[in-house]
Amino acid sequence: MTFCEQIWIPFIKVFATFMGVVMSLGYYPQAYKIYKNKSSKDVSIFAFLIFSLGTLTWFLYGLTIGDVPIIIGFILGVIGSFLVLIFAIMFKKNR
C-alpha cells in the first residue's frame, strides 16, 4: 500500500461515517415536526416508505459485510426514517 493510500483510505472511512451520520440526522427534524403538530400534512408516506426500506437495506448490507461506516451511518437513518413513517401514518387523519 502506498503512502497516499495509507492516508487516503482511513480519511475516507472517517469522512463517510461522519457524512452517513449527518445525512441520517436529516430525518429527525421531520419526525419532530410531525409529532409536534400532530399532523403529517404535506408528507409523502410513500416516499418515506421507500426511504425506510432503503436505509434498512443499507444497514443490513453493512452488517452482512461488517462495514462499520455503513452500519453507523445507517442505523440512525433506519430509526429516523421509520420514526417519520410511523408518525406520518399515526397522524395521517390530521392531514
Per-residue pLDDT reduced to its tens digit, 5-35: 788 888 888 898 898 889 999 999 999 999 9
Q: Give the pLDDT band (50/70/90) at residue 94.
A: low
Instruction: Return the number of other C-beta atoms located less than 10 Å from residue 49's C-beta.
Output: 16
Joined grid coordinates for residue 16: 463517510
Q: Which runs of consecutive H residues, i.e. helices, occur in 1-95?
A: 3-24, 27-37, 45-65, 68-90
Domain borders along the chain are 45-95
Tens of pLDDT along 33-85? 999 999 998 899 999 999 999 999 999 999 999 998 889 889 999 999 999 99
pTM of this structure: 0.81
Cα–Cα distance measured from residue 56 to residue 54, given in angstroms and rounded to the nearest whole number: 5
